[in-house]
Amino acid sequence: MNIRPFREIKRRKTKEIKVGNVKVGGDNPISVQSMTNTLTKDVKKTLNQIEKIQEAGADIVRVSCPDKDSTNALKDIVRNSSLPIVADIHFHYKRAVEAAESGAACLRINPGNIGNKEKIKEVITAAKNNNCSIRIGVNAGSLERDLLEKYKEPCPEALVESALRNISIIEDLNFYQFKVSVKSSDVFLSIEAYKQLSKVTDYPLHLGITEAGTFLPGSIKSSIGFGSLLLNGIGDTIRVSLSDDPVEEIKVGNEILKSLNLRNRGVKIISCPSCARQGFDVIKTVKKLEDSLSHIKTPISLSIIGCVVNGPGEAAQTDIGITGGGKGNNMLYLNGIESTKISTDEMISKLVRLIEEKAKEIDKAD
C-alpha cells in the first residue's frame, strides 16, 4: 500500500560517483554504510563481520588499513566480500597505494595529511589505475595545524576550508571521482559545516556525526544531525558512528532514512507505546516481530496498535495491521481493510506468514 507522504524531500543535485557497484550522488538512493572493528589482518573475522553488516542492510563497508599486513589482507577481503570495500587510510601514502592495488573500491583519505604533492599524486595515480574512488574525510579532531592557528578552534569555516583545499588538490590532478565529509562529534558544528559546504560544491556528501557515542546517545545525536541535513536535501551516503556492534549502525541508518521516506527497505513497523487499554502485550509482540521479520528486504508497512483508539486509523494506512481487542481477539487488517479476528496466541506466527507471502507477491510483481 503506497500512502503518499505528507512531505517529499527534494534532494540537492550532486555529481555521481561509483564505489564499486554502488552509485553515490546524482539521483541514486542514499546509501548506508558502516565500518568493521575487527583486526583487518584477521581475514576470517573481518569477512564474517562484513557478512553480518550486509545482512543488516548495508550498501558499503569501510575497513581500516593501518599497516602493510592489513593492505595485504585486503586482497582476500575484497575478493570474498559481498559489499564494496572502502579502505580507511591515515597519513601513510603507501598504504593508500597498496589498498587501491589490492582492489579497494574507494579510499578514505585526507590529502592534507598524506604528505607532499608527489605522494598525493602517487595515490591518485593508483586510484585512477584501479578504478577506485576517494572520500575526502575532513574531521574536526584532525584539522591541519595552520587552520587551527587561523581559526583558534574547530569551527564550520575551518572544516569547509580544509575540504575545499583538499578538493582543489585532487582536482588539480584531474581526478573527480570523489565524495566529501566534514565530520565532528558536535551536532551543531557538523550541521553548519555540511550546510556551508553544500553551497560551494556539488560533489556528493558523506554524512556523519563522528564519535557519536554509545547506542542510545549516538543514535539520537546522529538522528538529529542527519535529519536536519536530509530534510534540507543534503546528503548522499550516511554512516552512523556508534560505540557498538556495526550491525546496529546499519539498523539505525536505515531507520533514519525510512522515517524520512528517503528509502524503504524491509518491514516498517508502526506501533504504539502501549498503555492500560492494550488488548495484548504490544512491546513484547513488536520485539518478537522485529526479530522474526529481519530477513524481509521488501518494503512493507505493518501497524501494531494495542487498542481501537488509533488502531483502525493506523491500519488504514498500512499494508497489514493489527488492532487489539477484548478477550484475546484482535482485528487483522489487510491493505487497510478490516479482514478477520485472530487470537493473541496465533497473532505473531500468522503475521510473519502473511508478511512473507506479501513480500513474495510484491517481488514477483516487480
Q: Looking at the DSSP assignment, which residues form a beta bridge with residue 34?
A: 61
Digitized pLDDT (tens) for each residue of the chain, 366 residues in all: 555 566 678 999 999 999 999 999 999 999 999 999 999 999 999 999 999 999 999 999 999 999 999 999 999 999 999 999 999 998 789 999 999 999 999 999 976 677 788 888 999 999 999 999 999 999 988 888 899 999 999 999 999 999 999 999 999 999 999 999 999 999 999 999 999 999 999 999 999 998 878 999 999 999 999 999 999 999 999 999 999 999 999 999 999 999 999 988 889 999 999 999 999 999 999 999 999 998 899 999 999 999 998 889 999 999 999 999 877 889 999 999 999 999 999 999 999 999 999 999 988 887
C-alpha–C-alpha distance, residues 65 and 108, integer Å: 10
What integer pLDDT is reported at residue 2 of this predicted model? 54
Residue of 242, 210, 214, 219 whose CA lies nearest to 140: 210
Same domain for 169 and 189: yes
Domain boundary among 209, 237, 259: 259
What CATH number does residue 218 fall under? 3.20.20.20
What CATH number does residue 320 fall under? 3.30.413.10
Same domain for 147 and 234: yes
Same domain for 159 and 72: yes
Whether 83 maps to a domain, the answer reads yes
Q: Is 25 exposed, middle or buried (0-12, 13-18, 19+ CB in 10 A)?
A: buried
Same domain for 317 and 247: no
What integer pLDDT is reported at residue 366 of this predicted model? 72
C-alpha–C-alpha distance, residues 191 and 202, integer Å: 17
What integer pLDDT is reported at residue 115 of this predicted model? 72
CB 247 within 8 A of CB 52: yes
Same domain for 154 and 215: yes
What integer pLDDT is reported at residue 4 of this predicted model? 57
Same domain for 349 and 234: no
Whether 8 maps to a domain, the answer reads no
Whether 46 maps to a domain, the answer reads yes
Whether 1 maps to a domain, the answer reads no
Same domain for 39 and 106: yes
Same domain for 321 and 294: yes
Written in H, E and C, the secondary structure of the chain is CCCCCCCCCCCCCCCEEEECCEEEECCCCCEEEEECCCCCCCHHHHHHHHHHHHHCCCCEEEEECCCHHHHHHHHHHHHHCCCCEEEECCCCHHHHHHHHHCCCCEEEECHHHHCCHHHHHHHHHHHHHCCCEEEEEEEHHHCCHHHHHHHCCCCHHHHHHHHHHHHHHHHCCCCCCEEEEEEECCHHHHHHHHHHHHHHCCCCEEECECCCCCHHHHHHHHHHHHHHHHCCCCCCEEECCCCCCHHHHHHHHHHHHHHCCCCCCCEEEEECCCCCCCCCCHHHHHHHHHHHCCCCCCCEEEEEECCCCCHHHHHCCCCEEEECCHHHEEEEEECCEEEEEEEHHHHHHHHHHHHHHHHHHHHHHC
Domain boundary among 259, 289, 309: 259
Q: Is 45 exposed, middle or buried (0-12, 13-18, 19+ CB in 10 A)?
A: middle
Whether 325 maps to a domain, the answer reads yes
C-alpha–C-alpha distance, residues 197 and 21, integer Å: 26
Q: Is 294 exposed, middle or buried (0-12, 13-18, 19+ CB in 10 A)?
A: middle
Q: Is 321 exposed, middle or buried (0-12, 13-18, 19+ CB in 10 A)?
A: buried
CB atoms within 10 A of CB 341: 11
Whether 218 maps to a domain, the answer reads yes
Residue 173 belongs to what domain range?
A: 16-259
What integer pLDDT is reported at residue 117 of this predicted model? 82
Q: Looking at the DSSP assignment, which residues form a beta bridge with residue 238?
A: 32, 207
- Specify the number of domains making up the chain: 2
Q: In this structure, are strands 329-334 and 320-323 parallel, antiparallel, or unpaired? A: antiparallel
Same domain for 310 and 328: yes
Same domain for 166 and 193: yes
What integer pLDDT is reported at residue 64 of this predicted model? 96
Same domain for 353 and 240: no
Whether 75 maps to a domain, the answer reads yes
What integer pLDDT is reported at residue 8 of this predicted model? 79
What integer pLDDT is reported at residue 365 of this predicted model? 83
What integer pLDDT is reported at residue 5 of this predicted model? 60
Whether 11 maps to a domain, the answer reads no
What integer pLDDT is reported at residue 242 of this predicted model? 95
Domain boundary among 232, 259, 286: 259
**Residues in the chain, total:** 366
What integer pLDDT is reported at residue 168 of this predicted model? 94
Same domain for 334 and 249: no
